[in-house]
Amino acid sequence: MFELPEWTFEFHGHRCPFMPIGYRMGSLALEKLGVDKSLNHEIHVFSEMGVVHPQGCMQDGIMAATGATFGKGMIERLNYGKVAAIFWIPEHKYSIRIALKNEFQNKLAPHDFFKYRKQGIEPTEIPEDIRTDIINIVLNANDDELFNVTFIPNYKFIPVKSSFNKAKCESCGEYVFERYLRVKDGKKVCIPCSERESEETVVHLPKIIR
């Protein structure tokens, strides 16, 4: 049975089957690439998952296993709505794409765990034995049952160069990293200031799209 460190569940917040799938996906990628967990900025992950996709939990597992975190800017979401990810290391001979097999997704689908989830019941509210059972299905499966692994030669990606240069927005006065400055009416301004009409109040919040 695959062993999952307890801190990964604490980090994720609840016990569900998807964070463990992501952890296994990340562990397998490291093994296939022949590298250790990234402490700095070595491995890049391109997650093919989408937003509010139920399998989004997997990304926490991928981050925990590989060290490629959103905070370090090492994982990006491609929003394809697929349970797959590409693992890329600069100058490495090859990259790896790992996808969760349709057959395994079909095997999990009828589980009671989803009867609760479909009623809108949160994972922490689902009976413990049901959750343990579905997690054990994931941990007892072998890599072959779980994943399709593809080797990709010469995957091309040019990472954004890191820069510590920042400047003040000429409208709101807050610091902005230079790459994000925009020019509006001849002034260098931040993105929220560049988008507002002159009479509007500046609110530095993400736009809510409905």
Give contact residues for Zn ion (rule: CB under 5 A): 16, 19, 57, 169, 171-172, 190, 193
Distance of closest approach, residue 137 Cβ to Zn ion, in angstroms:
15
Distance of closest approach, residue 169 Cβ to Zn ion, in angstroms:
3
Nearest to 8 by CA among 53, 63, 52: 63
**What is the longest distance spanned by two Cα atoms in the chain?**
63
The span from the CA of 103 to the CA of 148, in Å, is 11
Distance of closest approach, residue 89 Cβ to Zn ion, in angstroms:
27
Nearer to Zn ion, 68 or 190 (CB): 190
Nearer to Zn ion, 42 or 133 (CB): 133
Distance of closest approach, residue 81 Cβ to Zn ion, in angstroms:
17
Enter the DSSP assignment of 39.
S
The span from the CA of 58 to the CA of 76, in Å, is 13
Nearer to Zn ion, 94 or 114 (CB): 114
Distance of closest approach, residue 180 Cβ to Zn ion, in angstroms:
10
Nearer to Zn ion, 86 or 193 (CB): 193
The span from the CA of 57 to the CA of 24, in Å, is 13
Which residue type sits at 90? P
Nearer to Zn ion, 27 or 171 (CB): 171
Query: Please, which residues bridge with residue 138 across strands?
Result: none
- Pair 193, 184: CB distance under 8 Å: yes
